[in-house]
Structure 1
Amino acid sequence: MENLKNKVWFVTGASKGLGLTLVKRLLNDGYQVAATSRTIKSLVNEVGEQSENFLPLEVDIVNEQSVKIAVAKAIQHFKTIDVVVNNAGYGQIGTIEELSNEEVRSNYDVNVFGLLNVTRQVLPHLRANKSGHIFNISSIGGFVGSFAAWGIYCSTKFAVAGLTEALAVEAKPFGVNVTLVYPGYFRTSFLSKDSVLAPKNPIDDYLEARQSQTAHQNEIDGNQPGDPDKAINVLIEMSKEQNPPLHLFLGQDAYDISKNKLEEVSSQLENWKNYTCANR
Structure 2
Amino acid sequence: MNNNKVWLVTGASKGLGLALVNQLLNQGYQVAATSRSIDDLQAAVGQTTDAFLPLAVNLKSEQSIVDALDQIIARFGKIDVVVNNAGYGQVGGLEELSDEEARANFNINVFGSLNIIRQVMPHLRKQRSGHIFNISSIGGFTGNFPGFGIYCATKFAVHGFTESLAAEAALFGIKATVVYPGYFRTNFLTSGSLSVPQNPIEEYSNVREVQSAHEDNINGNQPGDPDKAAQVMIDVASDPEPPVHLFLGQDAYDLAYQKIDIIKNDLEKWKPLITSTGYEQV
TM band (smaller chain): over 0.9
The 8 Å contact of residues 50 and 56 in structure 1, kept in 2 or not, is answered as: no
Aligned to 1:246: 244
Q: Deviations over 1:35-79 (max 9, x none)?
A: 000011011111136531000000010111111111111111110
Q: Tell me by how many angstroms 1:151 deviates.
A: 0.2
**How many percent of aligned residue pairs carry the same amino acid?**
58
- The partner residue of 1:93 within 91, 106, 117 is 91
CA positional deviation for 1:107: 0.2
Note if 1:211 corresponds to 2:223.
Answer: no
* 1:186, distance to aligned residue in structure 2 (A): 0.3
Distance 2:252 2:80 in 1: 28
Deviation at 1:110, TM superposition (A): 0.2
Distance 2:252 2:7 in 1: 26
Residue matched to 1:231: 229
Runs of 5+ consecutive residues of structure 1 not aligned to the other structure: none
Across the two proteins, how many residue pairs are aligned to each other?
278
Amino acid at match of 1:72: D
Distance across 1 between alignment mates of 2:277 and 2:43: 62
Whether the aligned pair in 1 keeps the contact of 2:2 and 2:238 (CA below 8 Å) is: no
**What is the DSSP-based 3-state SS (H/G/I as helix, E as strand, rest coil) of the residue aligned with 1:57?**
strand
What is the CA–CA distance in structure 2 between the aligned matches of 1:146 and 1:127, rounded to whole Å? 38
How far apart in 2 are the matches of 1:201 and 1:71? 39
Q: Which SS does the other structure have where 2:177 is aligned?
A: strand
Question: Which amino acid counterpart does residue 194 of structure 2 have in structure 1?
Answer: V
Q: Which residue among 6, 9, 12 is the counterpart of 1:8? A: 6
CA contact 2:10–2:85 (8 Å) conserved in 1: yes
Conserved 8 A contact 2:135-2:179: yes
> 1:236-278: CA deviations, max 9, x gaps?
0000000100001000000111101101100110110110111
Runs of 4+ deviating beyond 6 Å:
none
Q: CA deviation at 1:7?
A: 1.0
In structure 1, what is the equivalent of residue 72 of structure 2? 74
Distance (whole Å) between structure 2 residues aligned to residue 49 and residue 261 of structure 1: 42
Q: Does the 8 A contact of 2:143 with 2:149 survive in 1?
A: yes
**Structure 2 length-normalised TM:** 0.97
1:172 to 164, 167, 170: 170
Q: How does 1:111-260 map to 2 (within 5 A)?
A: 111-260=109-258
